[in-house]
């Protein structure tokens, strides 16, 4: 078949009264993939997920799952299950009944339900807690019940709406790896909604970055981080310096402060462009130190210094340009004080044009 | 001078367990407010508990030949009379009316309470005020209004006549009494139902739908069980006053629809049998108390 996509969105829009929550999104999610929708709150990522689940219907466009158009099909008739942000565990049911719910609704026979519930609980390491109520479990355990309740149905696609949002940092990091591991074991397509870029980078095969209802860029974590195609993506994923510049030709560009530097940008001379330069790709040295070959260098002054433990973050003003530099902290490495003159340098291919 | 963050216990000072300290503080707080409860407590004892004791005492007394109450002759005669066929008939009728009233109220109120609970806060408040509007006018007046509506020359009858079904005789029938009771007590069903449904996370219904439940099954497996405290509270709040109703059956009912309330009043006024009236009152009260206790036993917490 031509359409092997697990989930395909074609021109999908969702308007609530006069607010456009999702704006003509086109997207293909591959079978077996861990796909994240990443964006700030209110960007439309949850609405997009809900349209796949059937909890909302698109105002325009088409959602299909494994080539089958979903139209107005209600959630109970779709081959997907959801792990909700607040887990939405049934408070009046035990852990076992929560997990068995989907199978009971599908009217499977009792023995099969019992076996599959036991399997699912074992998968999330909750064997022995069958008779607890959700409110007798910790946040992490509730999260696992929600996961088991969805996975027990062996959905073709599992939708996860910020499932780790309510957990504390340590538990969250542990669960990130566990989820990723689980996904590769069960081989189900995961569509994961998050606003946490680190989470998306850690777990995803591919990421779709959304902002203001639009899907800005889709790619692997490396692609998204290293070759962002828009200032918004560059800024949202990690920390970055955005510089406006004018293309001069011959591999030269002119920064806002008038400095001419080298950059690999193929555009006609005279074009305005925006560059992204990651703070960790910039290096800081004393004014008289030699600069590596092929590097651009600017003279500047330290205006701010923030100690981060494993690194030191400097803000450096060079003419009209302010650059943030993240210098790794290592024994014997020289540190610079505020008001100290310095040189900032970077490899010419570190600067990426994100807007033409 | 050295400063320490945690206070170092002085040598010889008693060590306090933080839990114990908190408990003591709570005790002290609870003692402090005791006098505030005194006036209402006195009010209740004087005007509620004391009369109740008087009723209890009278229920063991004897009716004199001219209708006076003889307090010196104590016996259980009045209680024995509770097993009269007539009393049994009236009691069963009252329970029946109260049950039917509760059932109809529940069926009518649930969708409405659900509707209110799922509106925006602004619409919700308007609807809740509307539910309470009837309380702004006198219950007696409103019940008399039903008399006009249901009379054989009233609008209901006129309508059926117009449709060629002839006059309707609703007034002084069971239908009229139950209609009046449902009308009078339905707000007491709607409000606790609303409170219970409003508390349910609608995300749970979505979760049920996501887990292959149809709308109907999601309702019976999730919404209904979670709204049960409201169902129980509303049912008790309708059942109890319906069982003891006096005004409604008196105005809308006839001689064949006598309920316990009217029968008790008759003992005190026309029959002048205060001991029997007292015994009847007391048993009805005890039964209602039992019903309420059962409710709290089953875990209702919405009141």
**pLDDT tens, B48-89?**
999 999 999 999 999 988 888 888 888 999 999 999 999 999
Contacts of B217 in chain A (CB under 8 A): 105
B100 part of a folded domain: yes
Residues in A lying within 8 Å of B, measured between beta carbons: 53-55, 74-76, 80-82, 84, 86, 88-92, 101-102, 105-106, 149-150, 153
**Which one of A50, A81, A99, A105 would you mutate to disrupt binding with B, by most B Cβ within 10 Å of its Cβ?**
A105
Instruction: Compute how many other C-beta atoms are within 10 angstroms of the C-beta atom of residue B66.
Output: 6
Percent of chain B whose predicted confidence (pLDDT) is above 70? 92
B7 part of a folded domain: no
pLDDT at residue B14, as a whole number: 54
Region A249-278: what's the mean pLDDT?
85
C-beta separation of A149 from B213 below 8 A: no
Percent of chain A whose predicted confidence (pLDDT) is above 70? 99
Q: What is the ipTM of this complex?
A: 0.86
pLDDT band at residue A259 under the 50/70/90 scheme: confident
> Which range among A87-96, A285-294, B156-165 has the greatest average pLDDT?
A87-96
> Which range among A3-7, A150-154, B253-257 has the greatest average pLDDT?
A150-154
CATH number at residue B225: 1.10.3720.10
Of A53, A88, A149, the CB nearest to B201: A88
Residue A305 has pLDDT above 90, yes or no: yes
- Locate the chain B residue with the closest alpha carbon to A77: B212
pLDDT at residue A161, as a whole number: 96
The least confident of A331-335, B21-25, B278-282 is B21-25
B200 part of a folded domain: yes
B36 part of a folded domain: no
Region A305-328: what's the mean pLDDT?
92
pLDDT at residue B6, as a whole number: 47
Region B122-138: what's the mean pLDDT?
93
Mean pLDDT of chain A: 92
C-beta separation of A75 from A53 below 8 A: yes
B155 part of a folded domain: yes
pLDDT band at residue B16 under the 50/70/90 scheme: low
Q: Is the pTM of this model over 0.90?
A: no
Of A54, A55, A81, the CB nearest to B211: A81
Contacts of A76 in chain B (CB under 8 A): 209-214
Task: Give the single-character DSSP code of A275.
Answer: E
Dihedral pair phi/psi, residue A247, rounded to 5° = -75, 130
Size of interface A-B (CB pairs under 8 A): 59
Kindly state the tokens that stand for B94.
């009252």
Contacts of A217 (CB under 8 A, 6+ apart): A208, A209, A224, A228, A229, A230, A233
Instruction: Report how far apart, in Å, the C-alpha atoms of B293 and of each of A47, A62, A183, B138 are.
Output: 47, 56, 51, 31
Number of domains in chain B: 1
The verdict on a CB contact (< 8 Å) between A149 and B209 is: no
Residue A318 has pLDDT above 80, yes or no: yes
- Locate the chain B residue with the closest alpha carbon to A84: B207
B217 part of a folded domain: yes
pLDDT band at residue B282 under the 50/70/90 scheme: very high
B24 part of a folded domain: no
pLDDT at residue B299, as a whole number: 59
B92 part of a folded domain: yes
Contacts of A55 in chain B (CB under 8 A): 206, 209-210
- Full residue range of the structural domain in which residue B210 is found: 84-302
């Amino acid at each position: 078949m031509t359409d092997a996509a697990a989930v395909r969105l074609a021109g999908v829009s969702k308007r609530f009264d006069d607010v456009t929550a999702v704006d003509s999104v086109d997207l293909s999610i591959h079978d077996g993939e861990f796909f994240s929708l990443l964006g700030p709150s209110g960007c439309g990522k949850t609405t997009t997920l809900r349209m796949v689940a059937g909890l909302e219907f698109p105002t325009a466009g088409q959602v299909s799952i494994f080539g089958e158009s979903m139209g107005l099909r209600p959630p109970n008739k779709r081959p997907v299950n959801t792990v909700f942000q607040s887990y939405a565990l049934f408070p009046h049911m035990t852990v076992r009944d929560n997990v068995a719910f989907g199978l009971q609704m599908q009217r499977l026979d009792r023995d099969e339900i019992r076996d599959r519930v036991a399997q699912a609980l074992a998968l999330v390491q909750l064997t022995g807690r069958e008779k607890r109520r959700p409110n007798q479990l910790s946040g992490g355990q509730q999260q696992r019940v929600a996961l088991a309740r969805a996975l027990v149905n062996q959905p073709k696609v599992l939708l996860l709406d910020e499932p780790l949002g309510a957990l504390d940092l340590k538990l969250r990091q542990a669960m990130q790896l566990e989820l990723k591991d689980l996904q590769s074991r069960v081989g189900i397509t995961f569509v994961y909604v998050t606003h946490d870029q680190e989470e998306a980078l850690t777990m995803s095969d591919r990421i779709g970055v959304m902002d203001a209802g639009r899907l800005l860029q889709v790619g692997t974590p490396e692609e998204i981080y290293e070759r962002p195609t828009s200032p918004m993506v560059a800024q949202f994923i990690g920390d970055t310096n955005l510089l406006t510049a004018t293309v001069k030709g011959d591999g030269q560009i002119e920064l806002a402060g008038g400095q001419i530097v080298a950059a690999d940008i193929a555009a006609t001379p005279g074009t305005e462009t925006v560059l992204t330069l990651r703070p960790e790709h910039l290096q800081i040295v004393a004014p008289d130190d030699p600069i590596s070959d092929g590097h651009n260098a600017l003279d500047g002054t330290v205006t701010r210094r923030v100690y981060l433990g494993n690194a030191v973050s400097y803000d450096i003003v060079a003419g009209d340009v302010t650059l943030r530099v993240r210098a790794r902290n290592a024994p014997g490495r020289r540190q610079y004080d505020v008001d100290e003159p310095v040189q900032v340098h970077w490899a010419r291919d570190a600067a990426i044009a994100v807007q033409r | 001078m050295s400063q320490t963050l945690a206070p170092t216990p002085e040598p010889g000072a008693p060590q306090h367990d933080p839990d114990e300290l908190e408990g003591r503080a709570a005790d002290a707080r609870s003692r402090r407010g005791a006098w505030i409860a005194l006036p209402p407590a006195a009010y209740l004892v004087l005007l509620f508990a004391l009369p109740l004791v008087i009723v209890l005492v009278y229920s063991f007394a004897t009716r004199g030949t001219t209708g006076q109450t003889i307090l010196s002759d104590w016996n259980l005669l009045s209680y024995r009379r509770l097993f009269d066929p007539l009393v049994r008939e009236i009691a069963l009728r009252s329970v029946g009316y109260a049950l039917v009233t509760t059932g109809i109220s529940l069926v009518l109120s649930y969708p409405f309470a659900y509707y209110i609970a799922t509106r925006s806060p602004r619409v919700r408040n308007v609807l809740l005020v509307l539910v309470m509007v009837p309380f702004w006018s006198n219950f007696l007046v409103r019940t008399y209004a039903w008399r006009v509506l249901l009379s054989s020359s009233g609008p209901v009858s006129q309508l059926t006549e117009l449709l060629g079904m002839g006059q309707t005789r609703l007034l002084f029938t069971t239908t009229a009494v139950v209609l009046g009771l449902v009308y009078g007590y339905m707000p007491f069903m709607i409000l606790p139902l609303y409170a219970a449904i409003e508390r349910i996370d609608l995300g749970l219904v979505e979760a049920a739908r996501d887990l292959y439940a149809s709308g109907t099954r999601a309702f019976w497996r999730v919404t209904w069980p979670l709204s049960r405290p409201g169902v129980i509270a509303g049912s008790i709040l309708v059942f109890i006053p319906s069982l003891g109703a006096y005004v409604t059956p008196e105005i809308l009912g006839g001689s064949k629809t006598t309920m316990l309330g009217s029968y008790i009043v008759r003992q005190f006024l026309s029959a002048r049998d205060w001991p029997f009236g007292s015994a009847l009152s007391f048993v009805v009260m005890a039964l209602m108390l039992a019903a309420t206790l059962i409710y709290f036993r089953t875990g209702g917490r919405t009141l």
